[in-house]
Amino acid sequence: MRDFSGDHAALSINTATVRKQAKLDAIVEVCARRDIRMICPWRDQVQAVGLAAIAGQLRDTGIALSGYCRGGFFPAADAAGLATALEDNRRAVDEAKTLASPCLVLVVGALPGALTGKAAYKDIELARTQVFDGIAATLEYARKAGMPLAIEPLHPMQAAERACVNTLEQALDICDALDPERSGALGVAVDVYHVWWDPKLAAQIARAGRQRLLAFHVCDWLLPTRDLLNDRGMMGDGIIELRKIRGFMEGAGYGGAAEVEIFSEDWWARPLDDVIATCIERHRSVV
């Protein structure tokens, strides 16, 4: 296993972690100053500054992407909605390409409308079929663009609203169906927050292997967890066995970034530079 204690060369900051403190260009500036070599920005953060401006800033600072958040949200109540989602995913692929991202992360979506409190339908199998079809269509486009797609299984507590792909096994079944040759065009993003509880975690990470392990996200599960979305903890503050799971990843051939992705009112309330400093410290001490 790699030794992270001496430096933070493998650290990436998912910029949602500090999305309430500053715009993306200011975040990149702080990261550059702290010698952080990778980030994973969200589309809305890029748009708020401008795609070309961010692409330029990344080139200037030498900061690379560990991923781009996010494509997905494929299910819809009607054909027009499904088509709109596909179009939006093609744009996400193009943006990821402009930013030289190694992959586009997919939060696949779930019951359409659920996120705003009113599901258009309850049939989760239908949502899963729409997700499968959406990934298949987007993969065709992404292959041509040379942009790998990383399916991110989300925690089952987000199955109604955000993603109806909820285990690594389920995500890998989709990969096997759509990319049986393991070309590298389709894989998974392993976020410890979403998968730490899974009794099949070690086996499924091993099954994924190097070709399919496109991203690794870290944070922690707090006791108690007070909110289903925005109460992720800083690494070391909860009960996730971070080093053990990183061991599973590296044992399967993963050698990429450890990307910090925290959604937390607590951490959003702290100064940007302090949060980044803490990420660096915890990356070295507990990841």
Interface with a copy of itself by CB under 8 A: which residues? 111, 114, 117-119, 122-124, 128, 155-157, 159-161, 164, 166-167, 170, 196-199, 221, 223-226, 228, 239-241
- Minimal distance in Å, beta carbon 14 to a copy of itself? 21
If the CB atoms of residues 18 and 252 are measured against a copy of itself, the closer one turns out to be 252
If the CB atoms of residues 52 and 116 are measured against a copy of itself, the closer one turns out to be 116
If the CB atoms of residues 65 and 234 are measured against a copy of itself, the closer one turns out to be 234
Query: How far is it, in rounded angstroms, from Cα 215 to Cα 257?
Result: 7
If the CB atoms of residues 43 and 155 are measured against a copy of itself, the closer one turns out to be 155
Query: How far is it, in rounded angstroms, from Cα 188 to Cα 44?
Result: 22
- Minimal distance in Å, beta carbon 160 to a copy of itself? 5
If the CB atoms of residues 164 and 218 are measured against a copy of itself, the closer one turns out to be 164
- Minimal distance in Å, beta carbon 277 to a copy of itself? 25
If the CB atoms of residues 61 and 170 are measured against a copy of itself, the closer one turns out to be 170
- Minimal distance in Å, beta carbon 2 to a copy of itself? 21
- Minimal distance in Å, beta carbon 197 to a copy of itself? 4
- Minimal distance in Å, beta carbon 239 to a copy of itself? 5
